[in-house]
Amino acid sequence: MSEQSSAEQGPILAPAGDMPGDRLEITDRHHELAQEILPEIKALIEARGNRKTVVSVFGGSGAGKSEVATVVARSAKTLGIRTYVVSGDNYPLRAPVQNDAGRRMIYRSAGLSALSRLKEFQSAWVDELVSLWPSDGDVDPSLATARAEVRAYQDAGREALSAYLGTPYEVDFGLVNSIVGRFRSGEIWIALKRMGRSQQETQFESVNMTGVELLILEWTHGNSPYLDGLDASFFLRSTPEQTLKHREARARDDRIRSPFTELVLEIEQQKLERSLATAIFVG
């Protein structure tokens, strides 16, 4: 069945990239975005004299990166371009369960420290905020509207979280850069990470790169200043609300609609927007 005929039948479910257990709902829109990217990649490979090429498909969390990268890889194969898709979500330093907890710990530790430095400090403030932790209610911006102490807590937490998200404190950029460099140098067998939900489930798989000409990195951080060796980066436009809906459809997170998750998406979006000078816009 051709790519076009698959699209005409509406959404399809398909495995994608190398993220364990990831299944995607590929729609006509993903095919349309992929068709914007494919000519750019074809021209890039030709301009590079058919040397090994590395590109990224990036955007907000849940923007459709995995789906679009999958369709690009399938379409490239029909053009005789053998492709491998690397899922950047495999490369945080900590597995999702530990990283989610770590993000909240960073936010709350910074917030409580700021709270304790206020001259008017009251221990009851801490008791109240800690009681809200299970629901992430301490992150709700409406709580700070008329309360300076909560505003101090949230501002400090946000600053600390921003200094962590998408940096080498959270992500193993060294390993990703090593993979890109080894691919470029023509190594045949490259060990790639397979991140499970917990640290104990994390594995590595040796992948045979014989004949692979194009490496696609699909990742929120696919245009990060910490990332080396890209020939082009393709930015998928999206809004935080769109990413939330997409993540809900894929059911990848607990508490998807929590104030904390919304804050993380907002910070990630702001960082993305600061990295767009060198990107090719899609959509």
Instruction: Convert the pLDDT of each residue in 232-264 to its tens digit.
Output: 999 998 765 666 666 566 555 555 679 999 999
Residue 239, pLDDT score: 63
Let me know whether 107 and 129 are in one domain: yes
Q: Would you say residue 263 lies in a domain? A: yes
pLDDT of res. 112: 98
Task: Write down which residue in 164, 184, 199 finishes a domain.
Answer: 164
Whether residue 102 sits in one domain with residue 70: no
Q: What is the pLDDT of residue 128?
A: 97
**Do the beta carbons of residue 92 and residue 220 sit within 8 Å?**
no
Give the pLDDT of residue 10: 38
Q: Is residue 71 domain-shared with residue 83, that is, in the same domain?
A: yes
Has residue 187 been placed in a domain? no
Q: Please check whether residues 115 and 132 belong to one and the same domain.
A: yes
Q: Is 217 among the domain residues?
A: yes
Residue 171 DSSP symbol? B
Of 135, 164, 193, the position where a domain reaches its end is 164
User: Does 182 map to a domain?
Assistant: no
Residue 47 sits in the same domain as residue 15: yes
- pLDDT at residue 198 in the model: 85
Same domain, 157 and 128: yes
Q: Which residue range is the domain that position 226 belongs to?
A: 3-92+211-282
Which of 106, 138, 164 is where one domain is finished?
A: 164
Same domain, 11 and 138: no
From the list 121, 51, 59, 56, the residue with the least C-alpha distance to 81 is 51
Sheet holding 280-282, edge to edge: 83-87, 214-218, 53-59, 232-236, 280-282
**29 and 48 in one domain?**
yes
Instruction: Name the E strands within the chain.
Output: 12-15, 23-26, 53-59, 83-87, 189-194, 203-208, 214-218, 232-236, 280-282
**Residue 100: inside a domain:** yes
CB 215 within 8 A of CB 183: yes
Going by C-alpha positions, the residue among 104, 114, 87 that lies closest to residue 165 is 104
Q: Do 85 and 101 fall into the same domain?
A: no
Segment 31-57, tens digit of pLDDT = 999 999 999 999 999 999 878 999 999
Is 194 within a domain? Answer: no
Predicted confidence at residue 11, as pLDDT, reads: 40
CATH number of the domain enclosing 30: 3.40.50.300
What are the residue ranges in the chain where pLDDT is below 70?
1-23, 239-256
Domain co-membership, 31 together with 71: yes
Same domain, 53 and 101: no
Q: Is residue 253 part of a domain?
A: yes
* Residue 251: DSSP 8-state: T
Residues 83 and 218 in one domain: yes
Is 40 among the domain residues?
yes
* Total tally of structural domains belonging to the chain: 2
Give the pLDDT score at 6: 38
Whole-angstrom distance, CA of residue 160 vs CA of residue 110: 6
pLDDT of residue 257: 74
